[in-house]
C-alpha cells in the first residue's frame, strides 16, 4: 500500500494534467453541439427518436451489443494506450486519446441536454455516467502510467544517457495495465447488462409525441 501511495504522490501532477485535459475535452465536446448545422441536428434527432421507440418496444434495433464486443472495444483502448506508452513518440498520442474521450462524452451529454432538457440529462446519467464512473479513472491511471514510463525513457535513456534499468519500471507499467484491463471488464459487464436496463427505464420519457 505504501509504494502505491508514494507512486500516486509522485505522479499527482500527471493525474492533475490528464484530468484537466479530459475536462477540457468534455467542454470542447459540449460546445461542438452548437456547431452542428440544422440538417445535422435534425438527422441526429430523428435517429434518437427512432432509437428511443425501439428501446421502449424492445425491438431488435435496440438490442444491446454483446459483452465480447463491448469488452473488446475497451481493451483495445487500453492496449493502444499501453503501446503508445512504450515509445517516446507515442506520448502525445496518449494525450490525444484522453482529450478525445472527453470530447465524446461532452458531446453526447451536451447534445442530450440541449435536445431534451432535464430528461436528456437523466438519460445521459443512466447511459453515459454509470460505466464512466469507473471507466474514466481506469483510463486516467493507464494514461498516467504510460506517460510516466515514456518520461522515464526520455529522462534516463535519452537525456542523461545513464542507461537506467528499464525492467522494473516496465514490469510496474505492465502490471498496472493488466489490472486496469481487468477493471475494464467490469465496466464492460455493467455497460452490457445494467446500462441497457436503465436506458429502457428512462426511454419512455423521451419518446416522440404519439409514440407512447
User: In tens digits, what is the pLDDT along the chain, a chain of 212 residues?
Assistant: 446 677 778 889 999 999 999 999 999 999 999 888 888 888 888 888 888 777 766 644 444 578 999 999 999 999 999 999 998 889 999 999 999 999 999 999 999 998 888 888 999 888 888 889 999 999 999 999 999 999 988 887 666 655 557 888 899 999 999 999 999 999 999 989 888 888 888 888 877 664 44
Cell numbers given for 48: 434518437
Q: Which of 30, 57, 210 is nearest to 115 (CA)?
A: 30
Output the nine-digit C-alpha cell for 203: 426511454
Length of the chain as a residue count? 212
Answer for the pair 172, 130: CB distance below 8 angstroms, yes or no. Answer: no
C-alpha dihedral sign at 190, 192, 195, 198 = negative
The structural domains of the chain, with segments of one domain joined by +, span 15-42+66-203
Amino acid at each position: 500500500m505504501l509504494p502505491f501511495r508514494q507512486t500516486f504522490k509522485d505522479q499527482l501532477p500527471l493525474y492533475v494534467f490528464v484530468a484537466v485535459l479530459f475536462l477540457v475535452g468534455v467542454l470542447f465536446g459540449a460546445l461542438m453541439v452548437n456547431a452542428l448545422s440544422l440538417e445535422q441536428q435534425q438527422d441526429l434527432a430523428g435517429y434518437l427518436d427512432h432509437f428511443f421507440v425501439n428501446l421502449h418496444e424492445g425491438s431488435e434495433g435496440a438490442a444491446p451489443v454483446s459483452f465480447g464486443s463491448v469488452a473488446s472495444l475497451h481493451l483495445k483502448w487500453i492496449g493502444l494506450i499501453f503501446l503508445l506508452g512504450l515509445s517516446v513518440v507515442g506520448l502525445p498520442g496518449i494525450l490525444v486519446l484522453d482529450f478525445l474521450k472527453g470530447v465524446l462524452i461532452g458531446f453526447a451529454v451536451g447534445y442530450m441536454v440541449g435536445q431534451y432538457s432535464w430528461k436528456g440529462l437523466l438519460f445521459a446519467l443512466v447511459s453515459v455516467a454509470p460505466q464512466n464512473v469507473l471507466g474514466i479513472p481506469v483510463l486516467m491511471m493507464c494514461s498516467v502510467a504510460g506517460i510516466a514510463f515514456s518520461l522515464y525513457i526520455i529522462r534516463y535513456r535519452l537525456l542523461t544517457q545513464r542507461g537506467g534499468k528499464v525492467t522494473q519500471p516496465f514490469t510496474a507499467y505492465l502490471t498496472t495495465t493488466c489490472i486496469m484491463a481487468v477493471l475494464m471488464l467490469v465496466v464492460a459487464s455493467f455497460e452490457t447488462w445494467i446500462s441497457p436496463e436503465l436506458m429502457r427505464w428512462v426511454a419512455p420519457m423521451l419518446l416522440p409525441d404519439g409514440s407512447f
